Every structure is written in structure tokens, then in C-alpha cells.
Amino acid sequence: MSYEPVPSEPAPVYQPAPSTPTSDKSGLAIASLVLGIINLCSWLLPICGGPLAIVGLVLGFLGLNSSKKGMAIAGLVLSGLGLLLTIINAIAGAWLAANGGFDINQFLPTN
């Protein structure tokens, strides 16, 4: 059996690279896209659709400076569409409430 000599010097200590603050805001772009998708399901309830759309738009604008610019643009488009649908739904609901609601019986044939 042959043994190798033990080195007399201690093993070198490796330091991690200094972390630099990154300005990549890809998380904001992804959050904007997710909120835009959720907003397309929640525009029927203006109390939910409005705030989600506004937050999605803000995050989309902030995420435009990231490496995931396409996701930020998609989030902006989906959130904008959700906000438009929410506003239309809120106006229609207010109009129906002011005019006595919707009566389905006026469209059904009478016997």
C-alpha cells in the first residue's frame, strides 16, 4: 500500500462572488401576466375585477424594463382588457339598477 503525503498547507478558502443588486424586474412581469389571466375570470364582479386590473397594469408598466418584456406586454394587454370589461359591466349594472332591473318575461312569448 502506498500512501500520499498529507499537504502541509490548509485548503484554500473560496469566497462567494460579491452579489450585485440586479435591476431585472422579471417577477413583476410574471405577476402582471398572472393577474391579467385571473382578471379575465373576475371582471364579472367589478369589486374584484377593478383592483386586480389596476394592480396588473401597474406591475406591467414596472415590468417593461425587465428581461421578460413580452410577458409584461401580455400582462398589460390582458389587464387592460379586463379593466375595460369591468368598467362596461359596472356601467351596465348601474344602468339596470336605475331602470328597474332586467325582466326576462318581456322577451318570452305569452300564451
Longest CA pairwise span in the chain (Å): 108
Beta strands in 1-111 (DSSP E): none
Q: How far apart are CA 98 and CA 87, in angstroms?
A: 16
Domain locations along the chain: 26-98
User: How confident is the prediction along the chain (111 residues), in pLDDT tens digits per residue?
Assistant: 677 766 677 767 777 777 655 567 789 999 999 999 999 988 888 888 899 999 999 999 999 988 889 999 999 999 999 999 999 999 998 998 888 877 777 778 876
Contacts of 57 by beta carbon, 8 Å cutoff, 6+ apart: 32, 76, 79, 80, 83
Total-model pTM: 0.70
Q: Output the nine-digit C-alpha cell for 55.
A: 394592480
Q: Are 89 and 44 in contact (CB under 8 A)?
A: yes
DSSP 100: T
